[in-house]
Structure 1
């Protein structure tokens, strides 16, 4: 584990950019960027286009360590290059931004009010490659839709079990049990979730640091104990379907919680903009997310 990167992620001012849309969410991300589905005829062309979009974001002048602590990458992005360097090297060496890797393979079908992660075959192999590529940490997502105590317990147990495998490989896991922002029981879910996460955190040893990525809570500062927990490097928030404006407003009311937005980051920029227009749009997006993150 890179100690300089750990220090930056733990104590730096800024947020984490999520650039990890994968197979299922890529067409949606491209569409929002102004690239319709008929602009590509196969998966390879689609991934070329999304890499072009991500490259444009990462090479934008405002995308740097003044505001951004880390960036979460999709596996293919880790293996591709930006300006002649592998993406993790480009981020750290050129921008001072810490690279993370999304490792989950998507969600299982809903059962018991939750969606667990699908099994992650060859995870050890992927983690080994991530270490070779000089990645600092990982991210994996589950979803909670109902206040089902048993389901929530399963989600948290699975996340921490895989998290320990990731720690053993020398990486810092971002544990992401997302709460559906449209759930009628959101506040109740968050109470059950916090309880389960605290139990798991209390069982970790000093050399098992984790990060958490959570939906912005209904009750302001509800995750204070998680943010202050000695095993937690940082707690970041997902935008979860809120517009950037809504997500920023909610985030700003939660002290110590920082953003890790995906859609919120690229909202308002498009493929047909000139570089100046695009860079200006990204700079504005970064500025507002940064301001909401440093409260």
Structure 2
């Protein structure tokens, strides 16, 4: 099939991903990153434990009320639960769309001040074909840009934007909705207005490249960071300012044809992520997009700690996941009451975070 043949499906899938009151569960951490989380609760990093953890997530009763799709790591896409049922089938049975992380990680971009580029384009078409056959219907490619002296450089931004656009077009040729994720990291001491300025530049560059590559914008989703100050900034912004600048940034750089934005949490705590998303959705705006969530740590953190690797805690951990999913569902409609859902509150920031 060609892109034109897939286009109706791409549009329908993208719309379903940002259905009212729903967002994405990002559980696409690499084997190493997932292992670090398991080791934090005393579990060995092996396939059985990774399977058990992800089975806990996917079998949470009622999760489908708040979650439209789940981003998987390749191992998980081809994995089955302890009952022998494939995870893709478990998700589809709930009406949760399976997705797949397709980038192969960041590497140093030679000639820059410690900046990176994202790898994986050379094998992407073949892998996407395989992933579609397995049941994936959308994909994610994360590149990361930092704010520092002279950063992001023109070179790093051009490489990131070009590769995101090439990735998006290749995915669409294979029937997968591309999530476009040009993450601007929160590392640093820059203020929130600096973040906004950089994000505007990033968005305009990325979507110019998407236009050059013939990407069908109606069959894509944007996954940015919210517009927050650097984690070491002394001038902390309040949620209303963060919301205002986040919406302004989108209205200045995101085409109206994109159906929705699924924000990443990027090291922001569970509760703060929900509060910021709620404030964003309380604002009047010109932009027509759905503004919702695609959280990993901000959905999984309290759930993982509640489970603690103990079978007796399974249901309590699932209740914790469902509570945070409900909080973010409400926030995606501007209806969340801060503190109304439980959270083990802490900073989830990890310097130079990788998946």
Pairwise TM-score range, normalised by the shorter structure: 0.7 to 0.9
Corresponding position of 2:106: 107
* Contact kept? 2:182, 2:223, Cα under 8 Å: yes
**What do residues 94-146 of structure 1 show as CA deviations (whole Å, max 9, x unaligned)?**
21011110011111125535321123443222111111112111001111002
**Pick from 301, 319, 335: which aligns with 1:267?**
301
**Stretch moving more, 67-76 or 107-116:** 107-116
Q: Is the 8 A contact 1:62 1:279 kept in 2?
A: no
Separation (CA, whole Å) in 1 of partners of 2:226 and 2:264: 7
Q: Which runs of structure 2 are paired with 1:140-159 in the superposition (5 Å)? A: 140-146=141-147, 147-150=151-154, 151-159=156-164
Alignment-derived partner of residue 287 in structure 2: none
**In 2: Cα distance, 1:4 partner to 1:160 partner:** 20
Structure 2 length normalisation: TM-score? 0.73
TM-score when normalising by structure 1: 0.87
CA drift of 1:203 comes to 4.1
Counterparts of 2:214 and 2:18, CA distance in 1: 18
**CA distance in structure 1 between the partners assigned to 2:314 and 2:19 by the alignment:** 32
Q: Aligned with 2:118: secondary structure?
A: coil
**Structure 2 match to 1:213:** 223
Q: Paired residue for 1:47?
A: 47
Contact 2:225 2:264 in 1 (8 A): yes
Q: CA 1:247–1:120 in 2, change beyond 3 Å: closer, same or farther?
A: same
CA deviation vs aligned residue, 1:31-56 (integer Å, no higher than 9, x gap):
35x234xx35xxxxx23211210111
Decide whether the 8 Å contact of 2:204 with 2:254 is kept in 1: no
Instruction: Pick the structure with greater CA Rg.
Output: 2
CA distance in 1, matches of 2:195, 2:128: 33
> Mind listing any 5+ residue stretches in structure 1 that lack a counterpart?
41-45
Specify every segment of 5 or more residues in structure 2 that has no aligned partner in the other structure, as ranges: 1-5, 229-244, 282-289, 335-355
Conservation of the 8 A alpha-carbon contact between 1:220 and 1:253: no
Q: CA RMSD in A?
A: 2.3
